[in-house]
Amino acid sequence: MSQPSPIPPSGDASRDAADPSFAPDLSIGSRTTTPYEDYVQADVLTHLQHPLSDDPGEMVFLVTTQVMELWFTVIVHEWQTAADALRRDELTVAMDALKRSTYELEALNAAWKPLARLTPAQFNAYRGALGEGSGFQSAMYRRLEFLLGEKSASMLVPHRGASREYAELEKALQEPSLWDEVLRLLARRGYSIPDAVLWRDPTVRHEADPAVEAVWAEIFAGPQESELVRLGEALTDVAELVWRWRNDHLVATRRAMGAKPGTGGSAGVAWLEKRARKNVFPELWTARSHV
| Binding site listing for substrate | 127, 263
Q: What is the DSSP letter of 263?
A: T
Q: Which is nearer to ligand HEM, 266 or 279 (CB)?
A: 266
Exactly one of 104, 262, 280, 281 binds ligand HEM (CB under 6 A); that residue is 262
Residues 102-121 touching ligand HEM, rule: CB under 6 A, are 115, 118
Separation between Cα atoms, residue 200 and residue 178, nearest integer Å: 14
Query: Near ligand HEM by CB under 6 A, which window of 76-84, 159-167, 255-263, 280-288?
Result: 255-263
Separation between Cα atoms, residue 243 and residue 237, nearest integer Å: 10
Residue ranges of the binding site for heme: 249
Separation between Cα atoms, residue 173 and residue 203, nearest integer Å: 5
Binding mask 269-288 for ligand HEM (x = CB under 6 A): --xx--x-------------
Binding mask 51-80 for ligand HEM (x = CB under 6 A): -------------xx--xx-----------
Exactly one of 101, 249, 280, 284 binds ligand HEM (CB under 6 A); that residue is 249
Separation between Cα atoms, residue 252 and residue 269, nearest integer Å: 10
Least distance in Å: CB of 36 to ligand HEM?
27
Say if CB 220 and CB 291 are below 8 A apart.
yes
Binding mask 133-172 for ligand HEM (x = CB under 6 A): -xxx-x--x-------------------------------
Query: Near ligand HEM by CB under 6 A, which window of 23-31, 129-137, 185-193, 206-214?
Result: 129-137
Least distance in Å: CB of 250 to ligand HEM?
9
Q: Which is nearer to ligand HEM, 68 or 212 (CB)?
A: 68
Separation between Cα atoms, residue 286 and residue 243, nearest integer Å: 15
Q: Does 256 bind ligand HEM (CB under 6 A)?
A: yes
Least distance in Å: CB of 200 to ligand HEM?
22
Characterise 289 by phi-psi region: left (phi > 0), alpha (psi -120 to 50), beta (else). Answer: alpha
Picking from 82, 113, 124, 116, the residue whose alpha carbon sits closest to that of residue 252 is 116
Residues 175-234 touching ligand HEM, rule: CB under 6 A, are none
Q: Which is nearer to ligand HEM, 138 or 177 (CB)?
A: 138
Separation between Cα atoms, residue 75 and residue 82, nearest integer Å: 10
In terms of C-beta density within 10 A (0-12 exposed, 13-18 middle, 19 or more buried), how is residue 178 classed? buried
Separation between Cα atoms, residue 149 and residue 197, nearest integer Å: 12
DSSP 75-89: HHHHHHHHHHHHHTT
Q: What is the DSSP letter of 165?
A: H
Q: Which is nearer to ligand HEM, 99 or 246 (CB)?
A: 246
The number of residues that bind ligand HEM (CB under 6 A) is 26
Helix (DSSP H) and strand (DSSP E) numbers for the chain: 13, 0
- Residues of this chain that interact with ligand HEM (CB under 6 A) are 64-65, 68-69, 115, 118, 123, 134-136, 138, 141, 249, 252-253, 256-257, 262-266, 268, 271-272, 275
